[in-house]
Amino acid sequence: MDKTIANLLTALAKASEVVIFTGAGLSADSGIPTFRDGATGLWANIDPEEVASIEGFRKAPEKVWAWHEAMRALFAKVRPNAGHEGIAALESLLPDARVTVITQNIDGLHQASGSTRVIEIHGSALRIRCHRHCGFVDPWQAGQSAPRQCPSCGALARPDVVWFGEALDEDVFSLAAEAAFDADIFFTVGTSAIIQPAASLPMAAKEYGALLVEINPHQTPFSEHANYSIRAGASEFFPALRKALAEE
């Protein structure tokens, strides 16, 4: 990894747009189970269709709210790990670059670790919004496990996350796509790269000229396209990069 980090330092020194695209693997080291790593923790004994889909919400909003409150409570207990912290540190270590995080995670851990430019393409479990999109958005109140109504229009409120089968918010995704097009270096971190349209971002970045760097202990569909595919956990790689940048 040392040689790769040396090459990355050279590329980072010239970069004005640095993008870090993250998925569930980044938060795994904080103790948040990933959906595809097996039915553990939050995902044990539940049907995703019931608790994380629009059909499930229409049929039984109280089940959906209760499950999301359990998820929010888990997120409130966990802390950012060295991967999140290393990513946040890039902002001060690369003062001449703009550092943008695009995340598929809904746990708020990038903001908790200090990253200031975070595009949450799958929303955030720390917020609710009006189901009818009337404009109401609010922080999730701890302990609120029964469905709340939208105070503006009276419709039901819902978690501000993108559920299975739902389309992404177009404005948010456009911001992410623009960041990918502008990127000089695009890191893809802890994502299996199989959920579209999120998974199109790394290849779009590469087509528009970015150096593509993958951080994942396992091979993914991106590995063969990446300029560097680094077989390491995020909480191992980013502290190493941070240290090398600080020593420069």
Shorter beta-carbon distance to ligand APR: residue 183 or 189: 189
The catalytic position among 84, 122, 131, 218 is 122
Shorter beta-carbon distance to ligand APR: residue 130 or 199: 199
Strand partners for 99: 18
Token representation of residue 166:
């739902």
Shorter beta-carbon distance to ligand APR: residue 72 or 150: 72
**Region for 108 from its dihedrals, namely left if φ exceeds 0, alpha if ψ lies in -120 to 50, beta otherwise:** left
Range list of β-strands (E), the chain: 17-22, 98-103, 118-120, 123-130, 137-139, 157-161, 185-189, 211-215, 228-230
Shorter beta-carbon distance to ligand APR: residue 111 or 220: 220
Closest distance to ligand APR from the beta carbon of 138 (Å): 22
> Where along the sequence are the contacts to ligand APR (CB under 6 A)?
23-26, 28-29, 34-36, 104, 122, 189-192, 195, 215-218, 220, 233-235
Name the residue with the smallest CB distance to ligand APR.
Answer: 25
Residues 6+ apart with CB under 8 A from 213: 8, 185, 186, 187, 188, 226, 227, 228, 229, 230
Closest distance to ligand APR from the beta carbon of 198 (Å): 7
110 is catalytic: no
Radius of gyration of the chain (CA): 18
Closest distance to ligand APR from the beta carbon of 18 (Å): 18
Active site positions, annotated: 122
